[in-house]
Structure 1
Amino acid sequence: MRASKRQLVVDKATVLFSKHGFQAVGVDWIIDDSGVARMTLYRHFSGKDDLIREVLLQRYALIIGSIEVRLQGLEVPEERVKAIFDWYGDWFATPEFAGCLFERALAEFGTEYPKVSGVAIQYRDKMTSWMAELLGDLMPAPDAKHLGEVFMMLLDGATVTARAANDPTPASQAWAAAEVLLRSTKT
């Protein structure tokens, strides 16, 4: 079996999970949409939960890699943090945007199922610590950590609002709020 079939299953599952949720999409639906045999899916994934985990791991790598590219060449800490908010705004404007798979995983599975929720928590921790690290050049570490957590909450809210309103502007609104908080913390 070729790796491309495996990736086809992951790609189709990603689209279906994004649009309809993890619980609503069954293995048969994924098999039908990807055009692979049931045996093909189970050769690569022991079950739906393994497939969900792979979808989340690939989404994690894609987002983190994309944001890293966005940050390249930016030296000013505020510009680097703003670039993360801008990345979210660009993501919200894509036709594929259907909300955050990590938040959906937490909503559907809770934190008690680490096989799936562990990747979602890893994403949140990475984003929060990343912002805290960038803010650490502007303020003491405890303040940077706290503000990084608040900025992640702003991005979470912007993501939900962007999906509900089918509007990419909540990312810039979240950045405006983050900027006010950043200025008040620096003074």
Structure 2
Amino acid sequence: MKRNQARECIIKTASLLFYKQGYSNTGINQIIDEAGIAKSTLYQHFRSKEDLLIAYLEETGVLTLKALKDAAQSGTTPLEKLVAIFDYLEKLVGMDEFYGCHFLNIVYEMPNREERAREQIRRQKNLVRNLLGTIIEPLNKPELADEIYTLFEGALIAHKVHGANWPIRSAKNAVLQLV
């Protein structure tokens, strides 16, 4: 296996395991076994489990932001773009392989001393917040960005708690009233 392929395989394996069973419940040996690599190969690419977590968060952040931007592109007005994002979110949470927001799942597990992971999660969440701000910019109501962001995050949390789609629909309805 080439160097880049090994790194990608490690990240892919760790990402699946972190997402499905949690960061704390995933051990380095399990990642090594499921990736089919030697322990030395893992440590050539990542000095620690935390380094692997950061790589997972970075890669997942890029994919998440792209998916939200792509969803927004189906609308032409700010309201249509926001509705499209919430429609995408509703489809996403309805998938069999949806186990909650990657970033919220990790932040719930992290002790406060794990600042590096928390900072990476904040960066990703701020990118989502900034995307929403960019979408509503033509409305000249910058305060709405934080309100819509709070609805977005709250919908994800409530979906995780209730295991139902009504929080996403409720958040979308609130956006329709705000905008």
TM normalised by structure 1 equals 0.85
Report if aligned partners of 1:6, 1:44 keep a CA contact under 8 Å in 2.
yes
Q: Give the equivalent residue in structure 1 for 2:118.
A: 117
Identity %: 25
Letter in 2 for 1:170: P
Structure 2 runs not aligned, ≥5 long: none
Structure 1 residue runs of 4+, over 6 Å off?
Answer: none
Name the CA shift for 1:83/1:73 in 2 (closer, same or farther; >3 Å).
Answer: closer
Greater mean alpha carbon deviation, residues 51-60 or residues 95-104: 95-104
- Report if aligned partners of 2:74, 2:84 keep a CA contact under 8 Å in 1: no
Question: C-alpha displacement at 1:31, in angstroms?
Answer: 1.4
Q: Which residue number in structure 2 is paired with residue 49 of structure 1?
A: 50
Aligned residues: 178
How many Å apart are 1:110 and its aligned residue?
5.4
1:160 is aligned to 2:157: yes
Runs (5+) with no aligned partner, structure 1: 183-187
Aligned to 1:175: 172
Counterpart position of 1:9: 10
**Cα shift readout 1:51-105 (whole Å, capped 9, x = no counterpart):** 0000001101101112222233532110111122122112111222111121123
Alignment-derived partner of residue 38 in structure 1: 39
Whether the aligned pair in 1 keeps the contact of 2:74 and 2:81 (CA below 8 Å) is no
Q: Does 1:93 align with 2:90?
A: no
Aligned to 2:146: 149
- Provide TM-score, normalisation by structure 2: 0.88
Amino acid aligned to 2:101: C
Query: Could you say which residue in structure 2 is the equivalent of 1:185?
Result: none
